[in-house]
A and B are shown apart, each in its own frame.
Chain A
Amino acid sequence: MKTHALVLLSLAGALSAQSPVTFDRILNADKEPQNWLSYSGSTRSQRHSLLTQITPDNAKNLELQWVFQSRSLEKYESTPLVVDGVMYTVQNPDDVVALDAATGRVFWTYSYPVSPDARPCCGRLSRGVAILGDTLYIGTIDAHVVAIDAKTGKAIWDMEAGKAASGYAITHAPQIVKDKVIVGMAGGEYGIRGYILALDAKTGKEVWRFYTIPGPGEPGHESWAGDSWKTGGASVWVTGSYDPDTNLTFWGIGNPGPDWNGDKRAGDNLYSDSVVALDADTGKLKWYYQFSPHDEFDYDSVQVPVLVDTVWQGRPRKLMMWANRNGLFYVLDRVNGQFLMGKPFVKVNWMNGFDERGRPMKLASAASSKEGTLILPGNQGGTNYYNPSYSPRTGLFYIPSWDNYSSLFVKQDQDFVEGRTFGGGGPRPTTSAPVAPGTSNFRAEDDIYGAIRAIDPKTGEKKWEFKMADVTDAGILTTASDVLFSGGREGYFFALDARDGKLLWKASVGGAVRSGPMTYTVNGRQYVAVDAGNSLFVWALRQ
């Protein structure tokens, strides 16, 4: 019966006018599961869909429907949006494409002229767009925000939000809150001073700005020695979450700079490697929690904050769940930032528990050194920007994980030069790591491996894992029919039973899956979509 209800709902959506995407629709995305209205599927960012047509029993009948091959050889890390039968996605670096979500045929393409000043550290790419009303928003690798007419692909406004020549860039999908478009600056490898901006959605005019490194006179400024705050990085490159009850927008903040040498930035280096909770109307800091004080291992905390309302130790509580690049899974109270739990989900050797305030007890030996220090997890982390998922049905939190993974962290002296990389050393691999399908994997069984790991968030204990022969950069999608979709660097996209991790179906897509899957319906038929390699693949059940 539930399936039928959703099918009818989907049909109604397809037949109705393509009405503007109001913020109320974004807030109530669960009421229209046929659509995918924001990067993580909802403001709570659980990446959990209420669609149920694809089930553990019939997932074996999934069949490829269409492929969109982008005209870019850059890796694809985006999640598309779908609004009433129309899909909006990016074509790297910053083109936007409108497609028929049922067939993949193109309505229009917006081509963004990237400045030659752009210098993103780690890929000339965009992770997606946002929509409000009939307008799409993209942040670009030359640090512009562009508003685009969703019907025609015409640019409406184009605002320079940062200085590309100095290393500022935008690579994540913007967040919409009320009448604002919120973006953060990437550039943590260039010695930027990071910030988060809210722009007026109609005009592009700046409404507020929050610097992720406090300036002189602001609380937290003392956590940076000397002038190190001016070049301390603390970037933003993955979309945050929003809680309407508290009107807080939550963002994960990236590594301090220089990445691998903390000698000249003594102190905790706030708000690097933290989550910040900002008043969405003013940008004022309400609270923060720092996962990795004085980081020298590139432990960006740019993961998607997952918001969950559930019973915690006997009473209902508004929680934030977070699997961090530093290898630990956290539960925080998202109203006030109180630390409730932290527990490793992969092998970790840089800390040994928490003090009574929730600050990690870092080992004295856990510091970058001239000769190199072996640290687990390694530089890419126990997880990274890869989208996690939470299923209210199973009560489990799902993490794309790298385990048995270490790096040798080596520091070097480096002076800051504006617009040039500012790392202060770097990680050295301790195991071989294939980077794409087509390269050979020679690992022994106990070497580094990737896994989809299901965690009970109430205890931090592992419930099950799906182990892969290579690591994974893929996000995770779960559905209300207990299907979990994900993939890996080997070039497989697969479906698991969200209850026990049993493999239900797999497809060889010939390119690494580095993006978060999503799902939608058109005319009552459920589709699941994911980027792999430099193409977008879409499946549905065989008819």
Chain B
Amino acid sequence: MTALILAGSRSMMTAVPMNLSLVCVFLLACGALLAQHEYAATDIENGGRQYTNNCVYCHGPEGDQIPGINLLQGKFRRTLSDDDIARIIREGIPGTGMPAQNMNEGSARTIVAYLRSTAAVPASTVAGGNAARGKTIFEGKGNCTACHRAAGVGSRSGPDLSDAGALHRAVDLEQSLIDPSAVILPQNRMVRVVTKDGTTITGRLMNQDTFTLQLIDSQDRLRSFPLADLRQHSVLITSSMPSYQDRLSSTELADVVAYLVSLKGTSRKEAKP
């Protein structure tokens, strides 16, 4: 079984310094987020990626880490237009923890698109799970470690979930468990290659170009193929991960989501005095 889930990897998203964690601290006045535009699905997807890269470390995956606001549920300290939000992203708010972001208008607009889209989606329906029980299910009944790695345990053939809770909302994690193919981030796509001798290899796509392709296979091997040596190759846009809707009870699903939300990745440790 190869599972796919949303986990975006900071390591895969290069050139995103941790000190950009201040980039998206929206110190905004309370008010409803007003939907003003229709946004394309690609803008929303790109905006989600921008949000994960630039905003999540201060605002959190749920958008609620700054007291008084919830970006992803449309709660601000005052009413803001799309133009207001895009401007704040680009220019920051002087004298506050929200610095100007080196971002063009188009990229800022995609974040606005993402925020508008998330505000229209209800929060997770499986709140209140038990993370410790979820860990037991993750490593046992759920067989998640057959494909996924978390906190140093499990296969690397699927996305590493060690920082899933730092990057993704509970509602998105829940969706990935119930409908794994609904949203697959590009960095989590699988690829199938067939070599000229007929061998089929499926793995997680690491990189590709006009002449070569790189993947990590089911045995955790990093492999690189000249395309000229392949009979065929195809990037898979659906997930081979089964839905857990009928495999786990709603309580168990809540527990697994709670465990994933608890996974915050590597934390920096202080020096010995």
Residues of A contacting B15 in the complex (Cβ-Cβ under 8 angstroms): 71, 111
Contact B11 A105 (CB under 8 A): no
**Of A100, A157, A159, the contact of B214 (CB 8 Å cutoff):** A100
The B220-273 residues at the A interface (CB cut-off 8 A) are 220-222, 224, 226, 265-272
* Residue of chain B at shortest CB distance from A114: B17
Interface residue B156 (Cβ < 8 Å from any Cβ of A): yes
Inter-subunit contact A105/B9 (CB<8 Å):
no
A149 pairs with B156, CB closer than 8 A: yes
Cβ 8 A contact of A155, one of B149, B224, B266: B266
Chain A proximity of B5: nearest CB distance (Å):
14
CB pair B267–A105 under 8 Å, yes or no, is no
Is B12 among interface residues, defined by CB-CB distance under 8 A? yes
Q: Are A156 and B11 in contact (CB under 8 A)?
A: no
Q: Which of A115, A116, A134, A149 contacts B160 (CB 8 A)?
A: A149
Alpha-carbon separation in the docked complex, A151 to B216 (Å): 8
Which residues of the other chain, A, contact B207 by a CB distance below 8 angstroms? 105-108
Distance in angstroms between the alpha carbons of A109 and B219 in the assembled complex:
21
Say if the beta carbon of B162 comes within 8 Å of chain A.
Answer: yes
A144 touches B268 (CB 8 A): yes
Bound state CA distance, A524 and B13, in angstroms? 34
Residue of B nearest to A148 (CB): B11
Question: When A107-B214, A152-B156 are in contact, do A163 and B271 touch as well, CB less than 8 Å?
Answer: yes
The answer to whether A111 and B9 touch across the interface, beta carbons within 8 angstroms, is no
Within 8 A of B (CB), among A62-82: 71
- How many whole Å from A431's CB to the nearest CB in chain B? 41
A161 beta carbon closer than 8 Å to chain B: yes
Task: Bits for A1-29, please: 1 = Cβ < 8 Å to B, else 0.
Answer: 00000000000000001100000000000
Interface residues of A in 15-65 (CB under 8 A from B): 17-18
B199 in the interface (beta carbon within 8 A): no
A95 and chain B: residue at smallest CB distance: B14
- Which residue of the partner chain A has the closest CB to B19? A113
Residue of B nearest to A86 (CB): B222
Question: CA A123 – CA B216 in complex, angstroms?
Answer: 34
B214 touches A105 (CB 8 A): yes
Given contacts A103-B224, A144-B268, A153-B12, contact A113 B214 (CB under 8 A): no
Measured between beta carbons, the chain A residues less than 8 angstroms from B267 are 158
Number of interface residues of A (CB under 8 A): 43
A152 touches B216 (CB 8 A): yes
| B209 touching A105, Cβ below 8 Å | yes
Say yes or no: B224 contacts A108, CB within 8 Å.
no
Inter-chain contact A18/B222, CB cutoff 8 Å? yes
Q: Which A residue sits closest to B265, measured CB to CB?
A: A155
Q: In this complex, what residue of A is CB-closest to B151? A: A156
Please name all residues of chain B whose beta carbon is closer than 8 Å to the beta carbon of A209 when the two chains form the complex. Answer: 272
Q: A106-B207, A106-B214, A113-B18 in contact; A153/B11 too (CB < 8 A)?
A: yes
Q: B1-59: which residues lie under 8 A (CB-CB) from chain A?
A: 9-20
Q: Which residues on the B side are within 8 Å of A232 (C-beta)?
A: none
B152 within 8 A of A: yes
Closest CB in chain A relative to B188 CB, distance in Å: 12
Q: Known contacts A108-B206, A153-B12; decide if A158 and B160 are in contact (CB<8 Å).
A: no
Whether A105 and B216, one on each chain, are in contact in the complex, defined by CB atoms closer than 8 angstroms, is no
Taking a contact as CB atoms under 8 Å apart, the answer to whether B17 and A113 are in contact is yes
CA distance A368 to B121 in the complex (A): 72
Q: Is B212 an interface residue (CB 8 A)?
A: yes
Indicate with 1 or 0, residue by residue over A89-111, a CB within 8 angstroms of chain B CB atoms. 00000010010101101111111
Residue of B19, B163, B271 contacting most chain A CB atoms (<10 Å) = B271
- What 0/1 readout, one digit per residue, does chain A (309-322) give for beta carbons within 8 Å of chain B? 00000000000000
B224 touching A102 by the CB < 8 A rule? Answer: yes
Best-surrounded residue of A86, A102, A105, A148 (most CB of chain B within 10 A): A105
Residues of A within 8 A of B (CB): 17-18, 71, 85-86, 95, 98, 100, 102-103, 105-111, 113-116, 134, 143-144, 146, 148-149, 151-163, 204, 206, 209
Question: Besides A105-B212, A107-B216, A113-B19, 13 other CB < 8 A contacts?
Answer: A17-B219, A86-B222, A102-B224, A106-B207, A107-B207, A109-B12, A116-B19, A151-B220, A152-B216, A154-B11, A156-B266, A160-B271, A161-B271
Q: Enumerate 20 A-B pairs (CB-CB under 8 Å) in ascending A order.
A: A18-B220, A18-B221, A98-B222, A106-B214, A107-B206, A107-B207, A107-B216, A113-B19, A149-B149, A149-B160, A152-B160, A154-B11, A154-B163, A154-B266, A155-B11, A156-B152, A156-B266, A158-B266, A158-B268, A160-B270
